[in-house]
Amino acid sequence: MGSSALLLLKLALLAAYYTPTAVPAAVPPANCAKKCGSVDIPYPFGTMKGCFKDPDFQINCTRSSNGHSIPYLAKKSYDVHDIEVLKISEDTSEISVSMPVSILSYHPKNRDSEGYAMFDIFQMPSKFGISNKKNRFFVLGCDTYAFLYDQEGKRLNGCNVLCFDDRSSSGTSNNETCDSDFQLTVANYSIRIIGYGINPSVTKKRYSYAFVAQIGSFNNSDPKDRKKIRETNTSKVVLDWAVDSTNSCGGACKSNNSGCVPSESVSGQYFCNCTQGFRGNPYSYRVDGCKDVDECHDDSNLNKCLHPNSCRNTDGDYKCSCPSGQKGNGRDQTVVGGSGCSPIITIPLVVTIALLGVFTLVFILCWAHKRRTLKQLRQRNFEQNGGNLLLQQLSQEQRYTDKTRIFTEVELKNATNNFDETRILGRGGQGTVYKGTLSDNTLVAVKKSRVGGDPQHIKSFINEVFVLSQINHRHVVKLLGCCLETEVPLLVYEFVDNGSLLDHLDPSENECSITWDTRLRIATETAGAISYLHSSASIPIIHRDIKSANILLDHNNTTKVSDFGASRLVHLDEAQVATVIQGTIGYLDPEYLQTGLLNEKSDVYSFGIVLVELLTGNKAFQFNTLANYFVSSMKEDRLWEILDKRVLDQKKNAMILNEVASLAKRCIRVSGEERPTMKEVAMELEGLMAKGKHLHEKDKDMMEKESEYLLGYCPNNDGYGSTSASFSVTSGHDSIQKHVAFDIIDGGR
């Protein structure tokens, strides 16, 4: 039988053997596998029942011996057992597979009537075809003809490889190749290889190869590629695929913005693709379907805008714009429909420029008017807040002009981040205090006063600022300056970084309570500062709001008396001043509360309450009758019961505690005349501090002597010495208790 007849017979048998059967498509469920190994499996392909459109698109996901998952086409081709899937592209309807190559062995048993020859038939599933644009036909061997036939037996192309060199007996030098383009696209194909001029004794170990391979996947001049073909016996091939053989798209193209296109590779069938400007899976109606391509951002190479920043994405397309003063569609003139941009020299341009000039002029005038108005407002506020009066007084006292600084509103806004809420240190009856940082990195406290706009208080306010600017006492918070440009005045003080005395007395705010020695020192420093205000300032000052919250402490627990917003100046010829009652409940002088007459003894009463807080640890604002409670406890000889146990040291502090308690009792007497002056209070506290230091040093010497004695003491055998020592300590404790009780009774009288 001739070769042509043999080919036609095999093709007829093949057509009778393989008849494709279409299976209606089903909507794939959401839980279909999306991958097999490293290969994406998009619909209409699938690995499970119900996940593929029809059996042609079924993928077998097989686990290999090394544990990796490998996808294969489930529907086998004729004489080809397994076709491995390498990649599936749904937007171009292409699939890359690994196909077997045709191999001709030159062994004598393969001789036929025409010499050495072999014949392979490759039948693709009905929806697949070999892409003629992406593949080439290759022959690798020596003295070999190889031909490619379509499914009708028509020869498409072929290669003839000749070897002119003298072969060795091993016959293993298969280095000659040739390749040929496809003339047509075929769904199925067959390959025939014929060897000629063969010497069986020389060539019986040689092989020739003929195969279809993707362009770029095989380089016939590269020894590594030739070796790979011989070792794997497979080549990478690109197949086109289609979805149906009907004349209409039917329901296969599920995604919006998709359509059907006749297949060039599979005759009479079509495939789906996304319309221009969209990308994704046209067979899916879910989120992986055809989605708009953002040509302006996702892939800037897709847009042809002359000015990249002028690109604006639209649904399925994009638009370009021209810069102001130019016309056109903004696209490169080298692309279809692109007109570029050209200048506009017309009357509208002149009008636009004129309008722009008018707008700019109006903007500048409005800006200048706003600045002028703001400057006038600041000047008016400065005058209403007594700025001129303050400058006049400061100029008269030249030696103080360097102590008081007039800040601008802009400076203090920058320092406090425009009076940000997070900068608030505290709020009081006289205003709100903010933490600020000046341009030279100096930390300050900026007080936004609530006094403003009342002409009757302006002169008094200026006098207070003037007098406070002259105070130079180490235990009074220093006034650095003020700002009068705002609606309400702003005062700038030095920043004290360790909170208030109230914070340190409250165990919920500060776990580590301050010791009694520190408390006594704070009381002494506070009394000295108030005494200075009453007696040593050029014009006596009544603070009027002495309380533990207004006694600030720095990092060394040094006292700083603060908050002079309620303070009043009292000239030397005034014994007392009638004022509106101001202060804090719990610290207010009861006599001042009844009469409204303010004098120095009002500060003495408030300071006495602070002393009681230092002694007892109780807070006046939580104990409305703290003064009465304290006095009655002393009368009932219960002082030791109400003292703050956190600082109580009976051995060292009993006598001084009793004397401080007696002083506090005198400070909070109802009648102001019976209270001591702040100067007397300060002197008495200074004496107690000195006495406390003396007792501390004496106790220290005594403890050292006792330590020396005990180190040399050796108890006798019956242990009496040890018991006697213990008894003497206990007796000492009892004597201290009795001494304390006696002193309290005496103090109560």
Residue range 292-310, pLDDT digits in tens: 888 888 766 778 888 878 8
Q: How many CA atoms lie within 13 A of 508 on its CB side?
A: 2
- Report whether pLDDT(476) > 60: yes
- 18: exposed, middle or buried (Cβ count in 10 Å: 0-12, 13-18, 19+): middle
Of 472, 495, 518, the domain-final residue:
495
Of 462, 495, 528, the domain-final residue:
495
pLDDT, residue 663, reads 95
When divided into structural domains, the chain yields a total of 5
For residues 105 and 223, membership in a common domain is answered with: yes
- Report whether pLDDT(704) > 60: no
Contact 271, 261 (CB under 8 A): yes
- Report whether pLDDT(679) > 90: yes
716 or 400: whose pLDDT is higher? 400
What are the CA-CA distances from residue 698 to residues 355, 520, 645, 703 (Å)? 92, 19, 24, 9
373 or 696: whose pLDDT is higher? 373
For residues 486 and 594, membership in a common domain is answered with: no
For residues 622 and 691, membership in a common domain is answered with: yes
User: Considering the domain boundaries, does residue 56 fall inside one?
Assistant: yes
Q: What percent of the chain has pLDDT over 90?
A: 19
Q: What is the dihedral of CA 43, 49, 54, 57, to 10 degrees?
A: 50
Q: What percent of the chain has pLDDT over 70?
A: 72
Calpha distance 282→255 (Å, rounded)? 5
Of 280, 309, 343, the domain-final residue:
343
- Report whether pLDDT(645) > 70: yes
pLDDT, residue 608, reads 94
User: Considering the domain boundaries, does residue 285 fall inside one?
Assistant: no
> Where is 433: in which H helix or E strand?
strand 431-437
Phi, psi of 738 (to 5 degrees): -65, -40
User: Considering the domain boundaries, does residue 111 fall inside one?
Assistant: yes
Query: Hey, what long-range contacts does 329-332 have (CB within 8 A, 24 or more apart)?
Result: 330/305, 330/306, 331/304, 331/305, 331/306, 332/304, 332/305, 332/306
Which DSSP state fits 451?
Answer: -
Phi, psi of 492 (to 5 degrees): -120, 120
Calpha distance 243→53 (Å, rounded)? 8
> Where is 271: in which H helix or E strand?
strand 270-274
pLDDT, tens digit, for every residue of 120-147? 888 777 788 888 888 888 988 888 888 8
Which DSSP state fits 23?
Answer: -
Calpha distance 463→467 (Å, rounded)? 6
> Per-residue DSSP letters for 359-411?
HHHHHHHHHHHHHHHHHHHHHHHHHHTTHHHHHHHHHHSGGGTTT-EE--HHH
Calpha distance 102→121 (Å, rounded)? 9
For residues 462 and 564, membership in a common domain is answered with: no
Tokens of 584: 């804090």
Q: pLDDT-based confidence at 485, cuts 50/70/90?
A: confident
Which DSSP state fits 515?
Answer: P
What are the CA-CA distances from residue 63 to residues 49, 57, 70, 72, 748 (Å)? 18, 19, 6, 11, 99
Which DSSP state fits 206?
Answer: -
Least Cα distance to 36 among 27, 51, 46 occurs for 46
pLDDT, residue 24, reads 39
pLDDT, tens digit, for every residue of 84-125? 999 998 777 889 999 889 888 776 665 555 556 778 888 777
Least Cα distance to 142 among 101, 192, 222, 196 occurs for 196
What are the CA-CA distances from residue 221 to residues 140, 195, 586 (Å)? 11, 22, 103
pLDDT, tens digit, for every residue of 6-44? 445 454 444 443 444 334 344 677 788 889 999 999 888
Catalytic residues: 545
For residues 166 and 231, membership in a common domain is answered with: yes
Contact 142, 176 (CB under 8 A): yes
pLDDT, tens digit, for every residue of 327-371? 888 888 777 777 788 877 667 767 888 899 899 999 999 998 888
Residue 431 sits at the vertex; the CA angle it makes with 430 and 437, to the nearest 5 degrees, is 135
- Report whether pLDDT(1) > 50: no
Least Cα distance to 79 among 17, 147, 155, 152 occurs for 17
User: Considering the domain boundaries, does residue 366 fall inside one?
Assistant: no
For residues 111 and 132, membership in a common domain is answered with: yes
Least confident window among 174-188, 539-553, 563-577: 563-577
- Give the number of residues written for the chain: 749
- Report whether pLDDT(5) > 60: no
- Report whether pLDDT(380) > 60: yes
pLDDT, tens digit, for every residue of 571-617? 655 656 656 677 788 899 898 888 888 889 999 999 999 999 999 88
pLDDT, averaged across the chain: 76
Calpha distance 201→384 (Å, rounded)? 123
pLDDT, residue 746, reads 34
Per the structure, the complete domain to which residue 680 belongs is given by 499-749
Calpha distance 745→733 (Å, rounded)? 19
- 243: exposed, middle or buried (Cβ count in 10 Å: 0-12, 13-18, 19+): buried
For residues 60 and 190, membership in a common domain is answered with: no
For residues 490 and 538, membership in a common domain is answered with: no
Which CATH number is 468's domain given? 3.30.200.20
Calpha distance 135→157 (Å, rounded)? 13
Calpha distance 511→179 (Å, rounded)? 90
For residues 564 and 488, membership in a common domain is answered with: no
For residues 625 and 671, membership in a common domain is answered with: yes
What are the CA-CA distances from residue 650 to residues 55, 635, 639, 680, 726 (Å)? 99, 20, 13, 27, 18
pLDDT, residue 243, reads 80
Contact 660, 634 (CB under 8 A): no
Give the mean model confidence (pLDDT) for residues 521-543: 89
Residue with the two structure tokens 């003339």: 183
Give the mean model confidence (pLDDT) for residues 627-634: 90
User: Considering the domain boundaries, does residue 91 fall inside one?
Assistant: no
Query: Hey, what long-range contacts does 535-540 have (CB within 8 A, 24 or more apart)?
Result: 535/678, 535/679, 537/467, 537/470, 537/471, 538/467, 538/470, 539/463, 539/467, 539/569, 539/570, 539/571, 539/572, 540/569, 540/570, 540/571, 540/572, 540/600
Which DSSP state fits 170?
Answer: T
For residues 221 and 336, membership in a common domain is answered with: no
Contact 151, 187 (CB under 8 A): yes
User: Considering the domain boundaries, does residue 275 fall inside one?
Assistant: no
Which CATH number is 546's domain given? 1.10.510.10
Give the mean model confidence (pLDDT) for residues 703-709: 49
User: Considering the domain boundaries, does residue 318 fall inside one?
Assistant: yes
**Tell me, what amino acid is at 324?**
S
For residues 421 and 327, membership in a common domain is answered with: no
User: Considering the domain boundaries, does residue 153 fall inside one?
Assistant: yes
